[in-house]
Structure 1
Amino acid sequence: MFSLKRIAKTALILTFLGGLSLLVAYMLIKDQLPSVASLKEVQWQTPMQIYSNDGKLINQFGEKKRIPLKLNEIPQQLINAILATEDDRFYLHFGVDPIGMARAILGQLTGQNKGGASTITMQVARNFFLTREQTYIRKLREIFTAFHIESLLTKDEILELYLNKIELGHRSFGFGAAAQVYYNKDVNDLTLAQIAVLAGLPKAPSTMNPISRPDRALQRRSVVLQRMLASGYISDSEYQAAKSAPITAQKYGTEIDLNAPYIAEMAHQEMISRYGKEQAYTAGYKVFTTVPSTLQQAAQKAVVDNIFAYDQRHGYRGVIKSLRPFVENQLTDTTSSDIEPLTETEISQAIAHVMTYERLAVAVVTKVLDNSVEITLKDNEVATIAWENLAWARDFINDDSQGPPPSNAKEILSYGDVIYVETINQGYKLSQLPDVSSALVSISPDNGAIKAVVGGFSFYQSQFNRVTQAKRQVGSNIKPFLYSAALDHGLTLASLVNDAPINEWDQSTGTVWRPKNSPPEYNGVVRVKRALAQSKNVVAVRLFRSVGMDNVIPHIASFGFSPDELPRNESLALGSASLTPLEVVTGFAVFANGGFLVQPYLIDRIEDSFGNIVYQANPAIACDSCSQLSDTESVTLDSLQPTPKYLQENTQTTEQKVPFRKAERVISAQNAFLITEALNEAIWGADWSSSPGWQGTGFRARTLKRRDIAGKTGTTNEAKDAWFSGYSRHLVATSWIGFDDHSRNLGRTTANRNLGDNQISGTEFGAKSAQPAWISFMETALEDIPVEPFEQPQNIVSIRIDKKTGKLTNRTDKTSIFEYFILGTEPTEYVSKDISNEIFNQNKSDPLKEIF
């Protein structure tokens, strides 16, 4: 009895002394304790995510991978696993577990590991406010900080912080990110075995993770499962099933829904410019771009298909390398005594050491027959390339020459060749890494929203974005802007211009300047509209002279081009200006929207990690009908968006209020309409009723079977650059193709007899080289858009004229057509029966005389 009293008394004294010691310690270090009030409003360091307009993830940027979750979003079985493993009495203690603390102290005194003393609350204190240094002072700070946390937050709030903050290896923080990194799953889709693996990671995420140390992860998983069983969280059958399950983890990247790296990088750079790298990478911004995934995918396919088509019609440049030297008359398989058979190791190593891009895969030729080859790909996949997918591969000699078409597979490939192949129709086609570059960009002419960007064949081959960074000569893509200036200075679509050679002595260079049509054909006197449709070079020069350089350059610059980038000489009429595809498509948008200059923009809105909108785009709108709105009036974007609903079917919208902004009008609606009519003629215009017949340079776009489109080809001197820019009422796109090496031109090809009639041959230029990508893109982009003719503005009249003279006529046969005029500029004279003298004897007031 005495001894029990003595023990009790001693315990009370020790407890008092211990409490007094804690109080003294607290008083000594309380000023050094962190304020835990910030835990009420934690700003998670989460990566920036870039999305398409319809909510598909394009990419994410930031070192820390975190997917913040509310406690009710986390499966109970994962919570149970954490509690059983880390702190089974979490909901019973006050931040410090006396039983756990006593066990840890006893373990220190006896030299036995009795487990750690840290509770979940103490770990939250350490992870948010303290370091991991092993000192008694740091431990005391941890204990006192835990007391403060428990007094401020509920148990559920503390547990939620822990589950989102804890480091779990491979740059994953929190269990939401860990589920994605290790299993590519949402936390609610994890199995019990996978939950147990993740619950075991907090102890040592670097040495117990299932990727680098699957053996230790397996042991740790067993411990977690045993504790869950002992705590009654799982049954014995569940325990046995999970314990026997294999370790299935592997490292997964971010689950990308839309692979659009050029878009991602553009948005990435804009975010850094707005917020700085540190904030952009850690604040958890969700960046919604203006790009619909369907249009972006269509653009990427169009560009890559067109690059492959161009590259392959110019010939095969050869294999990547050969694993076996060529032996004259060698057999085509391993039966030859002169050839050492390839081993699986050789094949797999050869494939692994070659970079792949886009649709290109690497393969090794393992058998060559007369009309096919057998190949081995990654993971020992064996396939056959049929003759129709080899027959294109005649030798590349140079950009202008190709060798003879091959007659059998042995002329192309040999045993042991390492080659590129592309996947087509569930089969494979011999391919190669293209030399040529290309780009395509599309915007909405109504507000400048970017709808698609493809900056090259592959971002992983070259991060140079040719849409925004490549200044290339635009060739005949400049002509619509020049013709627009001509319409503003007295000409009409029916005015006559002399399509005849120009020979002019240039005293400054001591040479004769002879601009030529392409092809070098001249038709004498032609109407302005037909000259633009046929892209007559000498007519463009005559128009430039008629309007005058001091009038032409400011007019062209009003379409958004820098005057400093427009050459101050007549070469400008032939497209010597160097512009980016984004600048070109912005200029063409002015014609599509009726005369307004819109500014291209990529980011529609930015949300913070809580889903609050912190930025909403407020583009200027090309909209005549919006003139009744004042500049200070606030409206929703949806009500201002002139783009039809059928273009917004899959887009995410917002009711965010923004001030109305009207785009600047830079040309009249009448001027824009007349140029659009001429560019529609470039596609649909033709006349075979007389010899020689003619059709517009963009006639290949007729395959779209749309009358509500307009466009213009463009080819520079020596065909170093080829362009096609075109539009419908609500979508504009520009396609460019050329070599990054400015010394190379696009060259020419001869027909390959192996490929039949449906092939492109001859000299490369805008219609052959760039327009196919535009057509392919627009085929998808216009698929669900009803035909919408360009609206005829006020003060435009349609009058029947004579084709040859542009004068009025009463005839209704093939010699006449209807033409549009701005009211007051229409012809007043009727064509006479004998017009031969009228054409070449104009009065001095006629602009035609000056042009001649």
Structure 2
Amino acid sequence: MTFLGVATIGITYVVLKDDLPDVATLKDVRLQTPMQVFTADGELISQFGEQRRIPLTLEQMPPLLLEAFLATEDTRFYEHPGIDIIGIIRAASVVATSGELSQGASTITQQLARNFFLSREKKIIRKVKEIFLAIHIEQLLTKQEILELYLNKIELGQRAFGVGAAAQVYFGKSVTELTVDEIAIIAGLPKAPSILNPVRSASNARARRNVVLGRMLDTGAIDQATYENAIAAPVTSRLHGAQITASAPYIAEMVRQQMVDLFGEEVAYADGFKVFTTINSQQQAAAKQALQQNIYDYDERHGYRGPVARAWQAEFVSNDDESPVFNESGRLDDMALTQFLDQQQGIEDLVPAVVLSVAQQSAEVILKGGQTLTLEWDGLKWARNFIADDRQGAAPKSAASILAPGMSILVRQQDNAWRLSQVPLVSSALVALDPQNGAIRSLVGGYSFSQSQFNRVTQAKRQVGSNVKPFIYSAALEQNYTLASIMNDAPIHQWDNNAGIAWRPKNSPAVYDGPIRIREALAKSKNVVSIRLLRGIGVDASIAHLQKFGFAQSDLPRNETLALGSASLTPLEVVTGYAVFANGGHLVQPYVVDKVINAEGKVVYQHQPLLACQACGEQQNPDSSAELTDATVDELTDLNAMATEQYAPQVISAQNAFLIADALKSSVWGGGDWRQGTGWNGTAWQLQSLKRRDIAGKTGTTNDSKDTWFSGFTPQLVVTSWVGFDDANRSLGRALWNANLDRNQSAGTESGARTALPAWLNYMRVVLPAYAEKSLPTPVGISSVRIDQATGLLSRRTDDSSTFEYFKLGTEPTQYVSGSVPQIQFGEEPVEKTEEVEELF
């Protein structure tokens, strides 16, 4: 009989051996592991992949977890040769009596064979193959290797594969942080992960957990006291994502798309790539906070649009209502109220709440989760009625004019206090990059990625308004204009034969200063001066110059509206253009993926950015006649390393870039002498609060305030902020004065300075301290001379009528305001009336 059994097994093996897979592949197995995306400083941004897996070694797993699986799945694991004869006999007897293959009798080794090589179908032939494969595996691998592969491969429900992923998915923990009852829940999952997992069914998970705990008690893995404590523990679980430590979902999606392009979808999602981006986690957090707070500020200026819903309406509920969901106070009872709030959705930092009661200038609310709190008047008084984008109701005088019991609302925390809020309708974008190499340091493509995956930084082409003017002025400098050239700031009236109407572009505000220097016109954002400059340069020449900054010709209208910002560009295109002024004239290419490391720790992709290098030509051609000192040898070694780097093309001269950048500082600091009555402000004067002299920037507002911009920079960081509605035809409007608020907080037309600049300012207020103040270097070929402020001619005077101005060498004025010969001073810094400006602001 024994001989017959052995012969049967031998014959079966001969028949099946050609169909058996090569288990030697287990020696070089590559587990499907999700792609992870990190900031430059190592914070996790996101994880992509169908299978959630966190590969671990046995040493990284707690011993009790191993004992739980062995007690539940294979108590004789270390004794058998891959198959459990006792279990097989038991399963065979069931088949003989019932005709059904219901008993698994699978060892951990057999389960490993099935998971890697076979299906889960309950057929005898599959079981036989499983047995032969298990025996082969035991001959090839050690018990420790088998157990480690099994615990990393096993499916445990909710797309979690392996114990590391299960601990994260169900409990938001690492395996070393699991409690005894949580270990038992995970160890009970292999039998039926889809129906026994605690997210799907707490009762099923509890019953299976108790079985596992009983087996652990029987094998001595735990003692009686531990068993009783674990049995009594409640089953509490919810789905947890990867432990995200840096919020940058728009960046994550950009990375995902690039990785699929580089490696293909199947490889990108499953080969365990670690992608390191250029993002700085602290700067990213500052960008998100600045953008969202700025949106909230805009939203509050324009009024409250009312509650999300109503849990009940107090005026229709009497205290004697027999409905069991209402209590004696006429509101939903606690259970019904909890169920109602559980169904309400928050977004970002907005928390669902229901108003319980209203006092004169406060309201008691209950938050989703059960916490009750009081909304004080400071968190309510902004909420006058929204009527239209340019019209709001009267300032509220009591909480009852805003809220009523039963209202379902949204609240948020600001400055450690709770305030009434609402989901903003307006959109925004903010992007910051390093102008020296194009590395994106932070990027926020909208208020909430969960609300809209549309990335406004890279996808939204919007009219740029006055943000285009520095590029027009840059073109003018190439046509022999200077920052001291005088232009006529006066209204333009031009008849349009095609339209049959007159074109009357206006300044905003409609103030005209008459003859004005180009520096001052740019700082004050004079529309009519930009048009006159465009006419002097020519539309075609202007478009050709703007293309140098990376702007597509198709996005640049071939008419005079170009000077007012009718071109439609993305914030990423705008910030890249401004980087040219910040780095001395080089067009860098923005990028976000720095390097990619595979599962073996090998760098499989390394981005090679184009670098802005102002002095590369001189450094790479040292004087061959110079004495070869140790310092020279070190320098040449550094230059040899530099030779492998690639440099961004110089698209405008260093002199042109320097002059525009310096002129844009006047947007911040203005000019003149306030004590003498000649002082003036630039449109970005609010940035004086940063107390940095290395900041330059430009506001931008389009017709009817449909798009608002602010772009600004230092030599180390360039940032663009945009605010507008996704509906490009909708105006940002204006806010009327709210008597409950400071006039500056509530009243005014939305514009670049009012609407987009605050996000830029609040972002830079956080990140600038990490960058030492650093002025742009004055390039060779720049001179500075004293000029008369009224005429732009040379001046001998040292009073408030004159100032120093920068020029490209050879473009200095040749006439002296009093007829004398000019004295050109090379490399001298312009004198600014710092004291007068700082006294006023």
Kindly indicate whether the alpha-carbon contact (under 8 Å) linking 1:629 and 1:660 is maintained by their aligned counterparts in 2.
no
Q: Which whole-Å CA distance do the structure 1 matches of 2:534 and 2:560 have between them?
A: 7
Q: Secondary structure at the match of 1:681?
A: helix
The structural deviation recorded for 1:324 is 4.7
Corresponding residue of 1:666: 651
Corresponding residue of 1:387: 377
Corresponding residue of 1:697: 683
Structure-2 change in CA distance of 1:338 and 1:750 (3 Å): farther
2:662 paired residue among 666, 669, 677: 677
2:161 paired residue among 173, 188, 195: 173
- Greater shift, 273-282 or 298-307, is seen at 273-282
2:500 paired residue among 510, 534, 537: 510
The structural deviation recorded for 1:214 is 3.4
Q: Residues 431-450 of structure 1 correspond to what in structure 2 (within 5 A)?
A: 431-450=421-440
Q: Which amino acid aligns with 2:44?
A: L
Q: Residues 498-577 of structure 1 correspond to what in structure 2 (within 5 A)?
A: 498-577=488-567
Q: Which whole-Å CA distance do the structure 1 matches of 2:43 and 2:9 have between them?
A: 54
The structural deviation recorded for 1:78 is 1.5
TM-score scaled by length of structure 1: 0.89
The structural deviation recorded for 1:396 is 1.8
Q: Residues 351-750 of structure 1 correspond to what in structure 2 (within 5 A)?
A: 351-627=341-617, 659-687=644-672, 688=674, 693-750=679-736
Q: Deviations over 1:637-671 (max 9, x none)?
A: xxxxxxxxxxxxxxxxxxx9994111111011111
The number of aligned residues is: 792
1:56 paired residue among 43, 46, 54: 43
Q: Residues 763-778 of structure 1 correspond to what in structure 2 (within 5 A)?
A: 763-778=749-764
Corresponding residue of 2:331: 341
Kindly indicate whether the alpha-carbon contact (under 8 Å) linking 1:324 and 1:339 is maintained by their aligned counterparts in 2.
no
Q: Which amino acid aligns with 1:141?
A: K
Q: Which whole-Å CA distance do the structure 2 matches of 1:244 and 1:406 have between them?
A: 53
Q: Which amino acid aligns with 2:14?
A: M
Kindly indicate whether the alpha-carbon contact (under 8 Å) linking 1:350 and 1:418 is maintained by their aligned counterparts in 2.
no
The structural deviation recorded for 1:760 is 4.5
Q: 2:145 aligned with 1:160, yes or no?
A: no
The structural deviation recorded for 1:66 is 0.8
Corresponding residue of 2:247: 259
The structural deviation recorded for 1:337 is 13
Unaligned runs of 5+ in 2: 320-325, 622-640, 821-841
Q: Which whole-Å CA distance do the structure 1 matches of 2:344 and 2:208 have between them?
A: 38
Q: Which whole-Å CA distance do the structure 1 matches of 2:488 and 2:744 have between them?
A: 36
The structural deviation recorded for 1:151 is 2.4
Q: Which amino acid aligns with 1:375?
A: V
Q: Which amino acid aligns with 2:733?
A: G
Q: Which amino acid aligns with 2:651?
A: V
Structure-2 change in CA distance of 1:409 and 1:561 (3 Å): same
Q: Deviations over 1:69-115 (max 9, x none)?
A: 12222222212222222223323332223333334334555679997
Q: Secondary structure at the match of 2:646?
A: coil
Structure-2 change in CA distance of 1:417 and 1:242 (3 Å): closer
Q: Which whole-Å CA distance do the structure 2 matches of 1:489 and 1:113 have between them?
A: 89
Q: Deviations over 1:741-782 (max 9, x none)?
A: 222212112221211355252211110111000000011110
Corresponding residue of 1:40: 27
The structural deviation recorded for 1:727 is 0.5
Q: Which whole-Å CA distance do the structure 2 matches of 1:337 and 1:160 have between them?
A: 57
Kindly indicate whether the alpha-carbon contact (under 8 Å) linking 2:587 and 2:651 is maintained by their aligned counterparts in 1.
yes
2:777 paired residue among 788, 791, 794: 791
Structure-2 change in CA distance of 1:87 and 1:659 (3 Å): farther
Corresponding residue of 2:626: none
Q: Which whole-Å CA distance do the structure 2 matches of 1:19 and 1:513 have between them?
A: 101
Q: Which whole-Å CA distance do the structure 2 matches of 1:658 and 1:215 have between them?
A: 66
Structure-2 change in CA distance of 1:381 and 1:776 (3 Å): same
Q: Which whole-Å CA distance do the structure 2 matches of 1:780 and 1:359 have between them?
A: 20
Corresponding residue of 2:823: none
Corresponding residue of 1:824: 810
Q: Residues 1-400 of structure 1 correspond to what in structure 2 (within 5 A)?
A: 14-106=1-93, 108-109=95-96, 116-325=104-313, 340-400=330-390
Structure-2 change in CA distance of 1:107 and 1:726 (3 Å): same
Q: Which amino acid aligns with 1:620?
A: L
Q: Deviations over 1:574-627 (max 9, x none)?
A: 100011111100100111111110111111112222332221111111123445
Q: Percent identity?
A: 54
Kindly indicate whether the alpha-carbon contact (under 8 Å) linking 1:197 and 1:217 is maintained by their aligned counterparts in 2.
yes
The structural deviation recorded for 1:176 is 0.6
Structure-2 change in CA distance of 1:552 and 1:183 (3 Å): same
Kindly indicate whether the alpha-carbon contact (under 8 Å) linking 2:314 and 2:331 is maintained by their aligned counterparts in 1.
no
Q: Which amino acid aligns with 1:756?
A: D
Q: Secondary structure at the match of 1:572?
A: helix
Q: Which whole-Å CA distance do the structure 2 matches of 1:171 and 1:277 have between them?
A: 18
Q: Which whole-Å CA distance do the structure 2 matches of 1:353 and 1:305 have between them?
A: 26
Kindly indicate whether the alpha-carbon contact (under 8 Å) linking 2:101 and 2:122 is maintained by their aligned counterparts in 1.
no
The structural deviation recorded for 1:257 is 1.2
Q: Which amino acid aligns with 1:733?
A: V
Q: Which amino acid aligns with 2:171?
A: Y
Q: Which whole-Å CA distance do the structure 2 matches of 1:281 and 1:18 have between them?
A: 47
Q: Which amino acid aligns with 1:387?
A: W
The structural deviation recorded for 1:216 is 3.8
The structural deviation recorded for 1:21 is 1.5
Q: Which whole-Å CA distance do the structure 1 matches of 2:710 and 2:217 have between them?
A: 69
The structural deviation recorded for 1:401 is 1.7
- Greater shift, 732-741 or 227-236, is seen at 227-236
The structural deviation recorded for 1:246 is 3.6
Q: Secondary structure at the match of 2:611?
A: coil
Q: Deviations over 1:330-387 (max 9, x none)?
A: 99xxxx9999433335533443444322121222222121111111221332211111
Q: Which whole-Å CA distance do the structure 2 matches of 1:734 and 1:514 have between them?
A: 30
Kindly indicate whether the alpha-carbon contact (under 8 Å) linking 1:698 and 1:712 is maintained by their aligned counterparts in 2.
yes
Q: Secondary structure at the match of 1:16?
A: helix
Unaligned runs of 5+ in 1: 1-13, 632-655, 835-852
Q: Secondary structure at the match of 1:753?
A: coil
Q: Secondary structure at the match of 1:49?
A: strand
Kindly indicate whether the alpha-carbon contact (under 8 Å) linking 1:630 and 1:660 is maintained by their aligned counterparts in 2.
no
Q: Which whole-Å CA distance do the structure 2 matches of 1:269 and 1:736 have between them?
A: 24
